[in-house]
Amino acid sequence: MKTTKSGYRRPASLTKAPMHYCAGCGHSTAHKLLAEVLDELEISERTIGVAPVGCAVLAYFYLKCDIAEAAHGRTPAVATGIKRALPDRIVFSYQGDGDLAAIGLAETIHAANRGEQITVVFINNTVYGMTGGQMAPTTLVGQVTATSPSGRESATMGGPLRMCELLNTLDQPYYIERVALDSHAGVLATKKALRTAFQAQVEGRGYSFVEILSACPTYFHRSPLESLKFVGGEMAKQFPVRIFRKEGVALHA
């Protein structure tokens, strides 16, 4: 592990491969925080991740742990199969909004409802990045995307799905938190949330879910800095940043 003059350290669980993510994209930060948590909990050698279909499909190039790639949306079902076959391993899924809240909504809800002992990392950036900026289930009302060129209209396209709130209606989940990668404080909060979620799994407590509000400057059609403001502003207004479920108890019903 090398330390630069500025104190930056590459986590051992992060490969040296240059990431393909766009400038200002939240995935690279989220990957690094995830790698740090795997390092700190000393679990990378017994962790199996499941990558989604979406921008993070290539996560296995960057994270230094065993990783499988699931069919689009089936990510929590694949994670379920792995965890049930190997209950003493740490299993996580890493999913975007299309994978988790559109095509994989059933798998997401049912894995949570069964209380699978997995950790779900949900990157919500309100758009489909990999396919070219189409509308996602979490796209804000009025937000312009390739498939909502006049802005999302709730009367015909529905409104943004609030996943933490939805999952918080279930009995089984142990830990649910929404954080935002919009600032230095947001980065620290995200790391803490991830650590809590993985710690819960290490202790065999149950299902843990971390939603990370994240920037996609390319399809926000904004600069990276403006994108961070959008995440902390309009997005956070729609998707309140808070702990929803702690130690199996709903804090915000």
Rounded to a whole number of angstroms, the minimum distance from the CB of residue 118 to another protein is 10
Q: Does 115 bind another protein (CB under 8 A)?
A: no
CA–CA distance, 168 with 214 (Å, rounded to integer): 21
Nearer to another protein, 24 or 54 (CB): 54
Q: Does 50 bind another protein (CB under 8 A)?
A: yes
Q: Which stretch binds another protein (CB under 8 A): 71-79, 131-139, 181-189, 207-215?
A: 71-79
Q: Which of 138, 174, 171, 172 is nearest to 157 (CA)?
A: 138
Rounded to a whole number of angstroms, the minimum distance from the CB of residue 217 to another protein is 23
Residues 88-107 that bind another protein (CB under 8 A): 89-90, 106-107
Pick the binder of another protein from 12, 81, 141, 224 (CB under 8 A). Answer: 81
Residue 10: both structure tokens together = 């590459």
Distances in whole angstroms, Cα of residue 192 to Cα of each of 33, 34, 180, 185, 222: 9, 10, 12, 11, 28
Q: Report the DSSP pairing between strands 242-246 and 175-180.
A: antiparallel
Q: Does 27 bind another protein (CB under 8 A)?
A: no
Q: Does 38 bind another protein (CB under 8 A)?
A: no
Q: How many CB atoms lie within 10 A of CB 197?
A: 25
| Helix or strand run (H / E) with residue 134 | strand 134-135
Q: Does 31 bind another protein (CB under 8 A)?
A: no
Interface with another protein: number of residues (CB under 8 A): 36
CA–CA distance, 147 with 5 (Å, rounded to integer): 45
Which residue in the block uniquely carries the two structure tokens 């006049």?
150
Q: Which stretches of the chain bind another protein, using CB under 8 A?
A: 44-48, 50-51, 57, 60, 63-71, 74, 77-86, 89-90, 106-107, 109-110, 114
